Structure 1
Amino acid sequence: MKRQRSKGTGSIYQNSRGQWVAVVEAGWSDHGTRRRITLKATTKPAVRARLIEAQRKFLLDGSAPSLAHITLKRWADEWLARRQLVVRPGTFVSDRSAVDRWIVPTIGHLRLDTLSPADVRRVAAAQARKGLALATMQRTHAVLSKLLADAVAEGHQVPQRSREASSPGAGTSPRQALSVDDAMRILAVSAERPDASRWVAALIEGLRPAEALGLTWDMVDLDAERMTLAWQLKALPYVEFRNPASGFRVPRGFESRQLRGAYHLVRPKTRAGSRVIPLIPSLATSLKAWSQIAPPSPHGLVWPREDGAPRSPEFDRQEWYELAERAQIVVTLPDGRTRPPLLYEARHTAATLLLANGSDETTIRAVLGHSTVVSTRAYLHADLTRSRAALVASAQMVGLDG
């Protein structure tokens, strides 16, 4: 059939199957090719109406009127390519995992403009059948919600009811704090190890695992008994899976220092993560002893592996599990099951001890890195004095010297 076209207004024609088709220009793709959108209807007036609406939308907000039959998978591929440029590597890896393992395999074949709330719920249902934790299901739902919201921002049509589909549900965090007695037993066992300072830093000072593994000696002032937490150890993803030659996948402006292989020192996620906190006297003493026998690290790491390389998170967790097993500590879940305590629960324990000894919220947030960094000397001094008293009180609760 002859196409009916006026320059700049798109074209309308009837195909061999009797359908009326409209084609409209929608700008350019990321690859520099012209983007065309095809609209279909059973009648010529209907397809013209769709064409006019697409053009109106483009004129109003400048977005490409993405009314074509784009599948969720096709959009997800484009979304991930953009996502890697704006979010931290760990966030990108988590997002990509949710997309590749659950979202695309479950509903990736469906068109964005036909998604229903039931389709969105199918992703969580697939995870539930595999016995995944509620927290994982909630995280995947959040990724899917962001993916769909960004699709709308780009001009794609996604039914609002699908974007507002309810999450898999609310639940309490599975993490628990250890009791004072359990913390004392783990510290007693760790005291027999040369790296006892690593576990005091976790249970009393509340260091995140990545903060501990990224701590360097130049950040520790043993004379002033304080340490600066300004870096974290992270394994950055390669651009191509398991291909070091492809380089690392990092967003614009991301600050990092490569140590070995994929392991880098990276800045904390927020400014609150960078902070100066005091060392309790017993930790300062333990660190002084450790500094004399610690494996030499070319990177100056405080707690490296035997060969001086960065400790992997897996290695660090295994050391923690061995401590917990020797101390005969298990965590009882609400349903009666038991498991070993998680390493991150040491940080929860530090917070609980600070609460139990009457520390105020401002002090707790400053110690754990949940508030902005105090920058001036006067405020820094006041904050460290208060924080030191709080940490000493926590240490005394579990039998450590103040």
Structure 2
Amino acid sequence: MTPRRKGSGSVYQVKDGRWRGTIEAGWTSKGTRRRITVSAKTEREALRKLRDKERDIARIGLPAEGAGRTLTVKAWAEQWLSIRVTQVRQDGYTADRSAITTWIIPTIGHIRLERLSATHVRQVIDKVSAKRAASTAVRTHSVLRQCLKAALAEGHTIPPSVFAVPPPKLGESPREDIPLPHARLILATALKRDDASRWFAAFLQGLRPAEARGLTWDALDLDELTMDVSWQLKALRYNTPRDRSSGFRIPADHEVRHLVDAWHLVRPKTAAGKRIIPLVDPMPELLTSWKASSPASPYGLVWPGLGGRPKKDPEDQADWKSLIEMAGVAREDRAYDLYEARHTTGTLLSSLNVPEPVIIRIMGHSSMISTKAYIHASLDESRVALEQVSTKLLEIA
């Protein structure tokens, strides 16, 4: 056995010929001595590993009990996902799982956590960038960082260099606002349909598709002329996909309302997503007309799907596609995206010099510069702003 200074551990050779180094690390939860160990083919390599481990302990402290050096990225990522499912919304968990199983594990899953390097992180980014949009690469890089930070918090050794790799640059979104002449044609065409209120809400209220599909009649006040946008329609996953009696994957701090099957009304991700929006002409009249002729929905949905059930996104998108085809408008290279109606609302509000707090209130955005002490936009200010948008959209082209 090689002598070392008192309290710094020891290096010795075991029966199979390898060299092992140990550091005394107090006591385990079971009351037995706890030792941190390293292993190598030669004494010199074992001594080097032991010095590296001592430096790690001095820098970040002792690893958590049970946090082994041999844990691979794949093994840890699978553990992390089992924790993650209880912490985030379903959409967030699904995106995290996709990044882990599609890109991270296939690329670096076999690498041990303590052997990760900046090169490995770049390998993941390069693999995604070669096959997917920049937004997917950015998302995957973010998931990898979160996963490894969680491993570090659990006491696993993660080299600092992996956190120094900058995220890939995010390209411009292909979504744009719809040019005003085309927006007017779409709305003029919508007036020929029973569901005109759905499309006017997209342009005048700036509703996200999931917000529109989750809107209920009790959220509308046709006397005070307001719309309470506090829920979105989502289909949640069952705890056990093949067993519908197993309940749903709902993080403890998330508020949901069950409708039918997997369909739920879910609160927005941020408090800014919950908002009261004024109804401006011609929304009150369109909604009153639609209420008299719309399909009955046992769930009180304003724009339900077939049989009054929650409307699926493909159904909503198909109705939008039908509308813009009737209007005969499109971009040179593609059809207009439904979400671009919301972009149009934001662009018009900005072009009309509406103050930023009012735009934030109407659109349900959060802002880095917004705090609780930030100027509070009144409902009256929002109404004036949307009346200007309505005037712009309904002018004769």
Shared fold, TM over 0.5: yes
The structure-2 alpha-carbon separation of the partners of 1:48 and 1:108, relative to structure 1 and needing over 3 Å to count, comes to closer
Q: Where does residue 105 of structure 2 map in the other structure?
A: 104
Aligned-partner Cα distance in 2 for 1:115–1:291: 59
Per the TM alignment, residue 245 of structure 1 is displaced from its structure 2 partner at its CA by: 3.3
* Contact 2:63–2:157, Cα closer than 8 Å, also in 1: no
Whole-angstrom CA distance in 2 between matches of 1:330 and 1:242? 42
Gaps of 5+ in 2: 2-6
CA distance in 1, matches of 2:28, 2:292: 64
- What is the number of residues matched between the two proteins? 380
With over 3 angstroms needed to count, the CA separation of the structure-2 counterparts of 1:128 and 1:371, relative to structure 1, is closer
Give the distance between the partners of 1:300 and 1:353, measured in 2 at CA. 31
Q: What residue number does 2:133 align with?
A: 133
2:20 is aligned with 1:21:
yes
The offset of 1:63, in angstroms, is: 3.7
1:391 has 2:386 as partner: yes
1:374–1:215 CA distance, 2 compared to 1 (3 A): farther
Aligned to 2:121: 120
Q: How does 1:43-58 map to 2 (within 5 A)?
A: 43=43, 45-46=47-48, 49=51
Mapped partners of 1:240, 1:9: distance in 2? 49
Counterpart check, 1:345 vs 2:328: no
Greater CA deviation, 49-58 or 358-367?
49-58
Amino acid at match of 1:120: V
CA contact (8 A) 1:208 1:344 kept: yes
Kindly provide the amino acid, as one letter, of the partner of residue 176 in structure 1. Answer: E
Q: Which residue in 2 is equivalent to 1:273?
A: 273
* 1-structure distance, mates of 2:150, 2:387: 48
Higher deviation after alignment, 98-107 or 238-247 = 238-247
CA positional deviation for 1:317? 1.6
1:61-80 equivalences in 2 (<5 Å)? 63-64=64-65, 66=67, 68-80=69-81
CA displacement at 1:61 relative to structure 2: 6.5
Alignment RMSD (CA, Å): 3.1
Question: What CA deviation, in whole Å up to 9, does each residue of 1:175-214 have, x standing for no partner?
Answer: 2111111111111222121111011111111011111111
Q: Which amino acid aligns with 2:239?
A: V
- What amino acid sits opposite 1:259 in the alignment? L
CA contact (8 A) 2:72 2:109 kept: yes
Provide the residue aligned with 2:180 in structure 1.
Answer: 180
Native 8 Å contact 1:37 1:68 kept in 2: no
Q: Which amino acid aligns with 1:250?
A: I
Distance in 2 of aligned mates of 1:107 and 1:125: 12
TM-score of the two chains, using structure 2 as the length reference = 0.86
Deviations 1:142-186 (A, max 9, x none): 111211222222222222222222322232222211111111111
Relative to structure 1, the CA distance from residue 55 to residue 385 in structure 2 (aligned partners, 3 Å threshold; closer, same or farther) is closer
Q: Could you say which residue in structure 2 is the equivalent of 1:369?
A: 364
- Show the counterpart of 1:81: 82
Report if aligned partners of 2:236, 2:264 keep a CA contact under 8 Å in 1: yes
Q: 3-state DSSP class of the match of 2:276?
A: strand
Contact persistence 2:69–2:112 (CA under 8 A)? no
Matches within 5 A, 1:319-334: 319-332=319-332
**Contact 2:230–2:275, Cα closer than 8 Å, also in 1:** yes
| Amino acid across the alignment from 2:352 | N
Retained in 1: the 8 A contact 2:57–2:63? no
366-375 or 265-274, which deviates more? 366-375
Could you tell me which amino acid in structure 2 is paired with residue 223 of structure 1? D
Residues 1:40 and 2:35 are matched in the alignment: no
Q: Is the 8 A contact 2:21 2:47 kept in 1?
A: no
Q: What amino acid sits opposite 1:386 in the alignment?
A: E
Cα distance in 1 for partners of 2:70, 2:371 equals 52
Query: Are the structure 2 counterparts of residues 23 and 88 from structure 1 closer, same or farther at C-alpha, using a change threshold of 3 Å?
Result: farther
Distance 2:284 2:114 in 1: 61
Name the counterpart of 2:307: 307
How far apart, CA to CA, are the structure 2 residues paired with 1:252 and 1:123? 32
Aligned 8 A contact 1:39 1:50 in 2: no
Q: CA deviation at 1:329?
A: 2.6
What is the Cα deviation at residue 345 of structure 1?
1.3
Q: Which runs of 5+ in 1 are unaligned?
A: 3-7, 29-34, 333-337
Using the TM superposition, give the Cα deviation of residue 367 of structure 1 relative to its aligned residue in structure 2, in angstroms: 0.8
- How far is the alpha carbon of 1:339 from its aligned partner? 1.7
CA shift, 1:396, in A, is 1.1
Residue identity over aligned pairs, in percent, reads 42
Q: In 2, distance between residues paired with 1:109 and 1:69?
A: 11
Q: Structure 2: which amino acid aligns with 1:84? A: V
